[in-house]
Amino acid sequence: MDTQMETMLAGGQFKKLLDVQIAELRQRYDMKKAELEILYFLSRCGGHNTSTDIHYQLMMNRGHISQAVESLCRRRYIVAIPDKDDRRYVHYELLNSAQKIVEDMKKMREDMNEKILEGISEKELDIFKNVSMKIKNNIEKML
């Protein structure tokens, strides 16, 4: 595998870009990166809204998740709801107070994605998505 492909898979440049793009929102809302990422994730995850889901999808340290959801609950941006069938699980849901933050995150990400995908055709994007999914599935099999 070439270095360029390894760099893309590692996501270093994307993470750095996201950090730069998210900096203004972090300052505006006085939030940590993990808190903003979790709010954005919860706005899109449907019923997959436990700490385990957050860990799996965002590849975030469990300690960071715990601190972030505690802070978000305390600031009344999310609510923790115990699972009806299994006490070990807690589901997190957005409260209305988080909607403006989520909207700003979505707008920032849409603008960023538009710039990232500039000059890439729909056909090229479809091929990239298909290849990326195959690579992801192969990595999951190996893990």
Q: Whose structure tokens read 């600031």?
A: 75
DSSP the chain: --HHHHHHHHTHHHHHHHHHHHHHHHHHHT--HHHHHHHHHHHH-TT--SHHHHHHHH---HHHHHHHHHHHHHTTSEEEEE-SS-TT-EEEEE-GGGHHHHHHHHHHHHHHHHHHTTT--HHHHHHHHHHHHHHHHHHHHH-
**82 beta partners:** 90
Token pair listed for 11: 């996501």
Token pair listed for 15: 């993470």
The verdict on domain 3-142 having CATH code 3.30.360.10 is no
Mean pLDDT of 110-135: 89
**94 beta partners:** 78
pLDDT of residue 11: 65
Global model pTM greater than 0.85: no
The domain locations on the chain are 3-142
Residue pLDDT, tens place only, 85-122: 988 899 999 999 999 999 999 999 899 888 988 999 99
